[in-house]
Amino acid sequence: MKATRPSLKDFSRDALRADFKERGFPAYRADQVLSWIYAQGVESVAEMNNLPTSLRTHLEEEWDTSSLSRRRVEVSQDGTQKFLLETRDGAAIEAVLIPEERRNTLCVSTQVGCPLACSFCATGALGFTRNLTTGEIMDQVIRAREVLSEESAITNIVFMGMGEPLLNLPAVTEAIGLLTDPKTLAMAPRRITVSTAGLVPQIKPLLEIGPINLAVSLHATTDTVRDELVPLNRRFPLDVLLGSLRSEPLLSRKRPVFFEYTLMRGVNDSLEDAARLPELLKGIPSKLNVIPMNAHPDAEYEPPDQATCDAFTQTAYRAGLRVTLRRNRGADIDAACGQLAARDKTALSSVIS
Ligand code: SF4
């Protein structure tokens, strides 16, 4: 698949309407095309049977309907599915589908690699290649949806895969627009969560998109430790990051920040760390998600034992925080937090799902 033609999935409804109009097609035809792609899951232009032949010919000759090819799906013992996807220019990315009793959450990537180089993260170890386009973000949803049964749907989207979403805010904003568009996927904004390592200037513009959820990768309670784990902390240290959240009027108890805290043995898992958290998060509507480290070859960190994880969580809870100790999902297929590395890019051409 070569990226020589525009992809229909790179366009918002308004942008596609404007483009069609310029080319002499009525704007409402754009609505029909997007409805075929997103609401009905049809990418073959030949099957879009309410379009005139002239438009179908134009779409077939000038446009691509797909931005990603699915190369492999790995299924974890716990039902988590990891998708290895190939972009039109041959880059490899991953998305992870996490089925639960009442919902199916898809974790999507926003960059090929990541420039932020968090020391515990397999994606960070890859370095950075480029931002994903809107279409490449949207196609992760479409490619994942194809493996679900007709009765199932993707109910929640988390922008927590490869890359820092706020370094690709224009494409993320467009993708959220398409996900929530009533005529495409019609997702409720509260079912969408965007994670950041703490890119302070971009947080307000993100929250202004709509009532989506914000997640912040915290991972440490002192600047010394966070500088090591999340090098972005040297630009936006804890007092700057947390101070900006404390004074952010768009956050509320109904719309709290989800702080992600990956527990690493001997690094950030002490009871002193747990006891420092309430003071650090004071004044910020928040929920704390504690996640034991998922070991992988690109980082030297290990998870603490269960007793340490429990004691850490209990200490934070008794101090008044809303806290959840998360279970690892998909760790056996390297699909858990911090493990996404699209390692087998070289095998892309030989592996078919
Ligand atoms: S944790 Fe997130 S921000 Fe940090 S390197 Fe990994 S993908 Fe990038």
Separation of alpha carbons 243 and 225, rounded Å: 19
Domain count, the chain: 2
* Alpha helices, H only, 23-132: 28-34, 53-62, 122-126
Q: Are 159 and 46 in a shared domain?
A: no
Same domain for 53 and 79: no
Give domain status of residue 53, yes or no. yes
> Token digits for 255?
């719309």
Task: Please give the mean pLDDT across all residues of the chain.
Answer: 92
How much distance in Å is there from the Cα of 139 to the middle of ligand 1?
21
Residues 6+ apart with CB under 8 A from 192: 156, 157, 158, 159, 176, 179, 180, 212, 213
> Does the reported pTM lie above 0.75?
yes
Query: For the chain, how far is it from start to end, CA to CA, in angstroms?
Result: 17
Taking the CA of residue 164 as reference, the ligand 1 atom at the shortest distance is 3
* Final residue before a domain boundary, out of 23, 40, 62: 62
Residue 306 scores a pLDDT above 50: yes
288 and 160 fall within a common domain: yes
* Shared domain check, 116 and 183: yes
Bridge partners of residue 4, in order along the sequence: none
Which band of pLDDT confidence, cut at 50, 70 and 90, is reported for residue 246? very high
**Contact indicator for 290, 311 with CB cutoff of 8 Å:** no
Atom of ligand 1 nearest to the CA of 195: 2
User: What is the mean predicted confidence (pLDDT) over 198-208?
Assistant: 97
Other beta carbons less than 10 A from residue 182's beta carbon: 9
pLDDT band at 175 (very low <50, low <70, confident <90, very high): very high
Ligand 1 binding site (Cβ under 6 Å of any ligand atom): 114, 116-118, 121, 123-124, 162-164, 197, 217, 338
Q: Are residues 191 and 228 in the same domain?
A: yes
Task: Give the structural domain span for 51.
Answer: 8-62
DSSP letter at 322 equals -
pLDDT at 155 over 50: yes
Q: Of 62, 79, 98, which marks where a domain is finished? A: 62
**pLDDT at position 345, please?**
42
Using one digit for the tens of pLDDT, what is the confidence trace for 319-334?
999 999 988 777 777 7
Catalytic residues: 94, 337
Indicate whether 53 and 180 sit together in one domain: no
Atom of ligand 1 nearest to the CA of 197: 3
Report the distance separating Cα 309 and Cα 105, nearest Å.
24
At 351, the pLDDT band (50, 70, 90 cuts) reads very low
CATH number of the domain bearing residue 36: 1.10.150.530
How far apart are the CA of 325 and the centre of ligand 1, in A? 21
Instruction: Please indicate, yes or no, whether residues 295 and 185 belong to a single structural domain of this protein.
Output: yes
Lowest mean pLDDT of 196-200, 226-230, 298-302, name the range.
298-302
